Amino acid sequence: MPSYLLPCECGRDTVVTRAQAGDTLTCECGAKLSVPTLRGLAALRPAPVAAGARSRNWDDRHRVGFLLALGAVTCLLVAGYLWASLPALEVQPSDQDFINLVEGASARELFFYHNEALHGLDRTLPADVDVVRVRQIMSWGIGIVLTMALAASASACIVIWNKPGKK
């Protein structure tokens, strides 16, 4: 918050802020000083800022950096949700599973397997293809959201660390 120098008859200046507008203060010499209204404060000389003093108030770049960081965290949460929501793929049977199936099959089942092998399998797409497509789309979504999170994080760092007027 900007501060101003309120002059006294004794020659001393008292530092006042906007929050003190309209108040009555006492100078070090004991004289009563009437702090002007906000409009009157603009006519006073600004108080010098101490070297190395940091403002505790957020300025616009801090707000923008915070919003970018918040956006990055949100993107990470969305990516985590998408990752947790990925549909599971069915495990493909191994050769040993097939051998166990044939060894434990009856003559009728073996005849059925033989006919399937001779005439070809069903030409319709299995349900697994839909699951694979959904996983591909969701994986792309995860990649896009993670890229957005990285971009927002980098932007937040740039905005916060680059001070105005710094070259």
For residue 113, what are the contacts with CB-CB under 8 A and spacing of at least 6?
102, 105
Residue in 123, 124, 105, 104 with CA at minimum distance from that of residue 114: 105
For residue 58, what are the contacts with CB-CB under 8 A and spacing of at least 6?
66
Residue in 135, 119, 28, 3 with CA at minimum distance from that of residue 82: 135
Tell me the pLDDT tens digit for each residue of 59-104: 788 889 999 999 999 999 999 999 999 988 777 778 888 788 888 8
Domain ranges of the chain: 3-46, 60-161
Q: Does residue 158 register a pLDDT over 80?
A: yes
Alpha-carbon dihedral 111, 117, 118, 124, rounded to 10 degrees: 120
Tell me the pLDDT tens digit for each residue of 34-63: 888 888 888 888 888 765 555 567 778 888
Give the predicted TM-score (pTM) of the model. Answer: 0.49
Give pLDDT, residue 155. 93
Residue 148 banded pLDDT, cuts 50, 70, 90: very high
User: Mean pLDDT throughout 141-151?
Assistant: 95
